[in-house]
Chains A and B, each alone.
Chain A
Amino acid sequence: MNDPVRVGILYSATGTTSTIGQSQLQGAQLAIDEINESGGLLGRELVAVRYDPASTPARYAALAEQLIVRDGINVIFGCYMSSSRKAVIPIVEKWNRLLFYPTLYEGFEFSGNVIYTGAVPNQNSVQLADYMTSSFGARVYLIGSDYIYPYESNRIMGELVMQHPGSDKLGEHYLPLDATERDYAAIMQDIRARQPDFIFSTVVGDSTASLYRAYADAGFNPQTMPIASLTTSEAEIAQMGADVAAGHFTAAPYFQSIDSPANARCLARLRQRLGDDCRPNLCWEAAYFQMHLFANAFRQAGSDRIGDLLPHLLGSEFDAPQGRIRLDPGNHHTWLYPRVGRANAQGGFTIVRQATRAVSPDPYLVTHSLGDWTASLGALEN
């Protein structure tokens, strides 16, 4: 029997971002099971060495070094918050190892030791701004959690919206990660007075549910003044309840409701293992397909060392649940399929717009354009 191929996994099973961390674990594990059931990696079993960084950047850094130095791991899959990724990058650069990062983020980064499989703003913000301004108007109210991702996301959204005639920014508020319904209720009073066309939320984590509940309690109507988000996924909807989320919008490359054989097969295999105890979402899907990208590259390289893997990884493609994705050789980010979904009464999303072809990642784009033809989506609605 050959030695197993061991890879490191750093997704948080506990702490503030554990809801998404758990689903990223499920995505990675599903891919590992599939790989082993189909003969493993050149006859070797793929085995995950897993630690729980507990949503704490310093733990991410310490555990990454432990994986590399003590466990002899060459490839790590992990991280959600930008702060956790920033903590791990110096470690993988120091030891020249490879990190796969399956999360949307604000862009403006490249490390030769990282593969980025989540969306950057030209793959979600532009499409969301386009849809919201053309459907509801361009008078926007911005609410975010208090840290860098919302600041940069809101900068981009503000710039995009202000390109639209009749645009206005009616408010911009940042609340702590542990903000409650009462905190949001105060903002709802201001929203009632200012009457925006839509609300752009960059609130993340558990307080997402508080925001949507405060909105519902205020008696607002999502048909005339919905919330638009890049981070409110099926997982957050399960936390807040489908009735609270229904009618609001999210832009993402993946929704559970994607109608494709690849997605149906993947979801069936997941439910076979976990039953209904899972909330597949954009981060679950990226965690899933990036494991397969690694496996395919390993089969060609016969090694898990970064120098051997990269030539086979860069430019490689995979039939992911969202569509056929591709790793960009120039910037290590991924060609993805932007979509806009409206939350429905069943806790999922009804897809109202989707890309007809994969959109290239442009992580260093400063000025985005509304109506950019490379980013335009095909209509599915009605």
Chain B
Amino acid sequence: MDAEPNKETGSAATGRPLLERKPLLRATSPQLKELRQLRIAIVHPDDADGRLLAQQLQRIGCQVQAIWPPQPSLPEGTDVVFLAVRPDHLQLNYTWTQGEGESPPTAIAVVNYENPTIVSAVLELQVQAILPTPIRSFGLLSTLVLARRNHKESRQQQQRIAKLQAKLLGQRRVAEAKAILMQTHQINEDQAYDMIRAQAMSRRSSVEDIAQAIVHASEILSLGKGVVR
């Protein structure tokens, strides 16, 4: 049980009015709540560090599977992989961490050197955290929780960026299509937009797709005639 007084507020408090503070009770974060559902693969030799790592993850309550030597793929549904990055296995080409489309597992590198060769290998693996050896039980939970949070946020950001890029591209297409229509039909910008929108409505398509089709058609029609735009 802890009884370390808070030095900042710890002076004798006789009769002073109560200090209003932000309540400490807050919702426990999802990364802490999910710990007991996590399926974790430990790709690490069966030595003292590998065993300490597995034991501490089991104490935390995670579902742990140890794998060695490294396999071409991870068990189905692996949420987190602890990966030994060692001088004798640098030539291996792990592809799990860069899995595109589907959701790759959160990756944490377990390192026993930190020379530039190993650090470069770690960077290339795009891991979310590093765990140095010798493994200690203290700090593992925090590393795991932070890696999960960072991984989730970076995935959400990538999805958001992809969406924004598509949106931006669509906007540019619409602008191009409007310019084409304004020139070929001698109409103003609002009228050009209305034409695109009417087409989109009648074809049950998006404004961006119609704009793309107009730009595309214009490119084909203008072949050999020089640039229309």
Q: Which residues of A contact B (CB under 8 A)?
A: 16-17, 55, 57, 80-83, 103-106, 108-112, 118, 142, 145-149, 151, 154-155, 158-159, 169, 172-180, 182-183, 186-187, 204-205, 231, 330-331, 362-367
Q: Are B6 and A330 in contact (CB under 8 A)?
A: no
Number of B residues, CB within 8 Å of A: 34
Contacts A149-B3, A367-B28 given; does A182 touch B15 at CB 8 Å: yes
What is the CA–CA distance of A147 and B9 in the complex, to the nearest angstrom? 11
Binds A, one of B17-25, B78-86, B91-99, B171-179: B17-25
Q: With an 8 A cutoff between CB atoms, is B56 at the interface?
A: yes
Contact residues in B for A105 (Cβ distance below 8 Å): 1-2
Chain B's closest residue to A332 (CB) is: B59
Contacts A108-B141, A146-B10, A364-B60 given; does A154 touch B18 at CB 8 Å: no
Q: Are B4 and A330 in contact (CB under 8 A)?
A: no
**Choice from A109, A169, A173, A366 contacting B28 with Cβ under 8 Å:** A366
Contacts A180-B14, A183-B14, A363-B59 given; does A82 touch B24 at CB 8 Å: no
Contact residues in B for A155 (Cβ distance below 8 Å): 24-25, 28
What is the CA–CA distance of A329 and B60 in the complex, to the nearest angstrom? 15
Chain B's closest residue to A204 (CB) is: B3
Chain A CB within 10 A, most for which of B3, B11, B28, B32: B3
- Mark out the residues of chain B between 28 and 53 whose CB falls within 8 Å of any chain A CB in the assembled complex: 28, 32-33, 35-36
Contact residues in B for A158 (Cβ distance below 8 Å): 25
Q: Which 9 A-B pairs have the closest CB atoms?
A: A82-B2, A149-B2, A83-B4, A81-B3, A158-B25, A364-B60, A146-B6, A110-B137, A148-B2
What is the CA–CA distance of A174 and B8 in the complex, to the nearest angstrom? 13
Q: With an 8 A cutoff between CB atoms, is B226 at the interface?
A: no
Contact residues in B for A186 (Cβ distance below 8 Å): 17-18
What is the CA–CA distance of A161 and B109 in the complex, to the nearest angstrom? 39
Q: With an 8 A cutoff between CB atoms, is B223 at the interface?
A: no
Shortest Cβ distance from residue A213 to the other chain B in the assembled complex, whole angstroms: 15
Q: Are A16 and B3 in contact (CB under 8 A)?
A: yes
- Mark out the residues of chain B between 124 and 165 whose CB falls within 8 Å of any chain A CB in the assembled complex: 137-138, 141
Chain B's closest residue to A182 (CB) is: B15
Interface of B is mostly: loop
Chain B's closest residue to A331 (CB) is: B59
Contacts A177-B5, A366-B33 given; does A183 touch B24 at CB 8 Å: no
Q: With an 8 A cutoff between CB atoms, is B117 at the interface?
A: no
Contact residues in A for B35 (Cβ distance below 8 Å): 364, 366
What is the CA–CA distance of A80 and B2 in the complex, to the nearest angstrom? 7
Shortest Cβ distance from residue B198 to the other chain A in the assembled complex, whole angstroms: 54
Q: Are A147 and B5 in contact (CB under 8 A)?
A: yes
Q: With an 8 A cutoff between CB atoms, is B221 at the interface?
A: no
Contact residues in A for B21 (Cβ distance below 8 Å): 174
**Choice from B3, B10, B18 contacting A173 with Cβ under 8 Å:** B18
Shortest Cβ distance from residue A19 to the other chain B in the assembled complex, whole angstroms: 12
* 17 additional A-B residue pairs with CB within 8 Å, beyond A81-B1, A147-B6, A205-B3: A81-B3, A83-B2, A105-B1, A105-B2, A106-B2, A110-B59, A146-B6, A149-B3, A172-B24, A176-B5, A180-B13, A183-B18, A204-B3, A331-B59, A365-B61, A366-B32, A366-B36
